Amino acid sequence: MPVETILEDERWQAADLAGLADRAADAALRHLGLDSAGYEIALLGCDDARIAVLNADFRDKPQPTNVLSWPDEDLSAEDPGDTPLPPEPGDPDDPQPLGDIAIAWDTCAREAADQGKPMGDHVTHLLVHGVLHLLGYDHIQDADASLMEGLEVEILGNLGLRDPYRED
């Protein structure tokens, strides 16, 4: 899975954002029956200041958030709760771009601490979440949220991570 990772915030280096991204993207694509070698994703590891600018520019929400995604094409399903269209496959020599993801260190670290989760586990969840957005999944309507969250739980479970939506 070619995830091109750009680090604007050096704190992501110690967290091995590139390794987490490759693992999360590969797991998400494989779970959906897609060959990860045929796709590529651009990932920006940044801080809250940078993601707040991106959030303002693209969503008119001038505040930090944990993760943002920009799919290369709209694969969303027509009806709530339906599976999105699969992306056109590429190959290792000419991978199909799925889109871009940005993730903010400060918000992720704060959320992980507040939720008592290891940072790597929380970031992996957010990366799986971002990849699913690139593939046309969403959580605006209840039926879509149930589908997307169910996939997240399954994918993370396959990686040996606990259900991020379960409250203990």
The CATH number covering residue 54 comes to 3.40.390.30
Would the annotation count 122 as a binding residue?
Answer: no
CA angle 50, 67, 167 (to 5 degrees): 135
Q: Are 123 and 17 in contact (CB under 8 A)?
A: yes
Q: What is the pTM of this model?
A: 0.96
Residue at 164 is within a domain: no
Domain count along the chain: 1
User: Can you give the residue range of the structural domain that contains 15?
Assistant: 3-158
Q: At what angle do helices 105-115 and 119-134 cross, to 10 degrees?
A: 120
Residue at 78 is within a domain: yes
Would the annotation count 133 as a binding residue?
Answer: yes
Query: What are the pLDDT digits (tens) for 65-106?
Result: 999 999 999 999 999 999 999 999 999 999 999 999 999 999
Residue at 165 is within a domain: no
Q: How far apart are CA 109 and CA 118, in angstroms?
A: 9
